[in-house]
Every structure is written in structure tokens, then in C-alpha cells.
Structure 1
Amino acid sequence: MAKRYSLDFDDAYQYVVAEKNGLTIISFDADFDRTEKGRKTPGEIKS
């Protein structure tokens, strides 16, 4: 994942854990926008 999406180790690790467990990444880190699943920001889920 790190190479595929140009993520550093900790981002790639979080992405794989979320993907394997059906979770959504919630982060301010725009690096996740390059991934297939993307991310949500805390403001998007606060509603």
C-alpha cells in the first residue's frame, strides 16, 4: 500500500487496518485522498 498510494509507513498501516476491518479513515491528512477508499474529515462526521 505504501508504494501503491505513495503513503508513509504509518499512513499505510492505518489504511490496511481500516480496509481489513471495514472502517473509514477519519483524518485531516490529505495523503489518504490518493487511496481507493479516501478519508473523511472530523468535520464531515461531526453532524
Structure 2
Amino acid sequence: MSIDRFIIKKLDNCHEERTRLNLVKLFKLRIQKAEKAEKGSPKTG
């Protein structure tokens, strides 16, 4: 299971507010990292 899918699954099942906020922060960081990597990589095609 990918880490992204793991985070989403945990968000679905988590009821503790602080933990949910941390999971959302982690997911946002992963999205930002992926966007940065996408901008830095050369375009194909």
C-alpha cells in the first residue's frame, strides 16, 4: 500500500482531531513535494 493511500485510509478512520490535523499536514507536504518534483523534471512528449 502506498503511503498516500495509507494516509487517506487513516484519515477516514481517525476521530482524534489532533491526529487528523497532523495527517492532513503530512498529506499536504507530500503533495507540495510532488508538485515541486514535477516542476523540476523535464517534460516528455
TM-score range for the pair, normalised by the shorter chain length: 0.3 to 0.5
Using the size of structure 2 for normalisation, the TM-score is: 0.33
Using the size of structure 1 for normalisation, the TM-score is: 0.32
- Larger % of helix: which? 2
